[in-house]
Amino acid sequence: MRKYIATIMVSFAIVSVTFFGATTTEGKSSDTYKQLNLFGDVFEKIRSQYVREVTDEELIEAAINGMLSSLDPHSSYLTAKNFDDMQVQTKGEYGGLGMEVTLDKGVVRVVSPIDDTPASRAGIQSGDYITKLDGEQVMGLTLTEAVGKMKGEIGTDIIITVVRKGEKEPFDVTLTRDTITLKSVRHRIEGEVGYIRISSFTEKTESGLLESLDKIKQELGENLQGIVLDLRNNPGGLLNQSIAVSSVFLERGEVVSTRTRNDEHVQRFPARKGDNINGKPMIILINGGSASASEIVAGALQDHRRAVVVGTQSFGKGSVQTVMPLGANGAMRLTTAYYFTPSGNSIQGEGITPDILVEQIRFDKSNQINSRRRSEGDLRGSLANPNGNSDDDVEPEDENPAGETESDNTEGDNGDDEARDGDKKTEKAPALTTAQDDYQLNYAINLLHGMAIARNVD
């Protein structure tokens, strides 16, 4: 019976295409039949002649994943295990090393380490390349396979081989896997300024933000001059959380809109009335690692003139993915819409342009950042900007990105276990360093002091 599986599968696909494509022309249907027959022929030849035996399940999953991943860098197939892992990660806890990664030229590139994790404690940096995992070459592995090897039982060790700009030779780093609790919001007081860092958008981000704001207001009271919201190296997360975070600082107005391929299907997401800090000045920090959901927040507050955006150009991921469960067979993540800022602009492939461009200065010349800008537009197969602003001459260099943590704009409450490539200049924003160690943060705080003074004079 096994040799008839391919024929049965193709026949079923033809029936499905005929049913759903009833309005297509006869010529188009004929072409579809030919392509499905071709698929069946290839499927059968692989099963019978490939150098090693592969299961029908492996081939079908690979075909589905290939079909999805060929569309754009963010559509993909999730096996049942990957789907379960994704749901666990979205809740803010998983086992692993703690870094967002992507695939670049066949090897793993670190987008950014997550705060207070084995990766960050070991000094792994944004822009590092991982070429070996426990001595096994990464080249030839899919990103899902590489990420799977980085995950494992808590307390077990893994040796990663790192290639870093400025280092003459690759070097090994031993990391001990740990429970990665994604505390996506942290805060501290800088003089009379509240500093809040959001590292990703999970189910707990809004509640964490409100908790941080309450503590800041309790400590500073009427002396609070304003808030610095740090979204640097934040690769994104849940769409509904980006809307909720924006709403915390807006009295009214649109946060974001999404549009499908049908121009009439426009969904608008308004802010809930009520600015939590009563109009006090705000600075938002972004850089090339700020992507997806973090760009929605920065774009919304910038367009409403609620905050001054400081830093460098963001990554430019302006699409929304919907996770569609497939029963016992996992799920598919499909790009279903573009998102637009309140002013009607798409940042797809371009990013958010800061109001004030401030580069991150490195006083140690051996650790200077790379001036090459890397963005969504560099990803192979990336979608064009729907406003027609993308540069079609960009030569894509990255493969389909994936990662160890959830970090995509995902419609609904389901998360995403693939991280976005968000490294613009291999900038590494220290998680909660002092302003004296962080030039961009120091600039933002001084600017906010000036804004507060001007506000009081008015």
Q: Which residue has the tokens 């900007």?
A: 385
How high is the pLDDT of residue 434? 62
For residues 235 and 392, the model is more confident at 235
Domains 95-180 and 183-457 share a fold: no
pLDDT tens digit sequence for 154-212: 899 999 999 999 999 999 999 999 988 768 899 999 999 999 999 989 888 999 999 99
Split at pLDDT 50, 70, 90, the class of 335 is: very high
Sketch the domain layout of the chain as residue ranges: 2-54, 95-180, 183-457
For residues 367 and 263, the model is more confident at 263
Q: How many Cα neighbours within 13 Å face the side chain of 350? A: 19
Residue from 69, 199, 290, 292 carrying the catalytic annotation = 292
Cβ contact 375:352 at 8 Å: no
How high is the pLDDT of residue 120? 92
Tell me whether residue 303 is one of the annotated catalytic residues. Answer: yes
Residues 6 or more apart in contact with residue 38 via CB below 8 angstroms: none
Residue from 104, 230, 303, 378 carrying the catalytic annotation = 303
Q: Which residue has the tokens 């700009």?
A: 165
For residues 360 and 194, the model is more confident at 194
What are the structure tokens assigned to 44, written together?
């059968």
What are the structure tokens assigned to 457, written together?
């004079």
pLDDT tens digit sequence for 363-418: 554 444 444 556 776 766 667 787 776 444 333 333 333 334 333 445 433 333 33
Q: How far apart are CA 141 and CA 143, in angstroms?
A: 6
User: Which CATH number is 95-180 given?
Assistant: 2.30.42.10
Task: Provide the whole-model pTM.
Answer: 0.68
Buried b or exposed e, range 43-81, using 16+ CB within 10 angstroms? bbebbeeeeeeeeeeebbeebbbeebbeebbbbbbbbee
Residues 6 or more apart in contact with residue 427 via CB below 8 angstroms: 126, 232, 233, 287, 288, 289, 312, 360, 369
Tell me whether residue 91 is one of the annotated catalytic residues. Answer: no
Question: Alpha carbon of 435 to those of 47, 221, 388, 431, 444: distances in Å?
Answer: 60, 22, 39, 11, 9
pLDDT tens digit sequence for 75-93: 989 988 888 877 766 666 6
Is residue 116 left, alpha or beta, with left meaning phi > 0 and alpha meaning psi from -120 to 50? left
Is residue 191 left, alpha or beta, with left meaning phi > 0 and alpha meaning psi from -120 to 50? left
Fold topology of 183-457: 2-enoyl-CoA Hydratase; Chain A, domain 1 (3.90.226)
Tell me whether residue 317 is one of the annotated catalytic residues. Answer: yes
Least trusted range by pLDDT, from 115-129, 220-234, 321-335, 429-443: 429-443
3-class DSSP string for the chain: CHHHHHHHHHHHHHHHHHHHCCCCCHHHHHHHHHHHHHHHHHHHHHHHHCCCCCCHHHHHHHHHHHHHHCCCCCCEEECHHHHHHHHHHHCCEEEECCEEEEEECCEEEEEEECCCCHHHHCCCCCCCEEEEECCEECCCCCHHHHHHHHCCCCCCEEEEEEECCCCCCCEEEEEECEEEECCCEEEEEECCEEEEEECCECCCHHHHHHHHHHHHHHHHHHHCCEEEEECCCCCCEEHHHHHHHHHCCCCCCEEEEEECCCCCCEEEEECCCCCCCCCCCEEEEECCCCCCHHHHHHHHHHHCCCCEEEECCCCCCCEEEEEEECHHHCEEEEEEEEEECCCCCCCCCCCCCCCEECCCCCCCHHHCCCCCCCCHHHECCCCCCCCCCCCCCCCCCECCCCCCCCCCCEECCCCCCCCCCCCCCCCCCCCCCCHHHCHHHHHHHHHHHHHHHHHHHC
pLDDT tens digit sequence for 148-158: 899 888 899 99
Beta bridge partners of 415: none
Q: What is the chain's Cα-based Rg?
A: 23
For strand 319-325 and strand 331-340, is the pairing parallel, antiparallel, or unpaired?
antiparallel
What are the structure tokens assigned to 364, written together?
């140690």
Class of residue 344 by CB neighbours under 10 A (exposed 0-12, middle 13-18, buried 19+) = exposed
Residue from 280, 317, 424, 428 carrying the catalytic annotation = 317
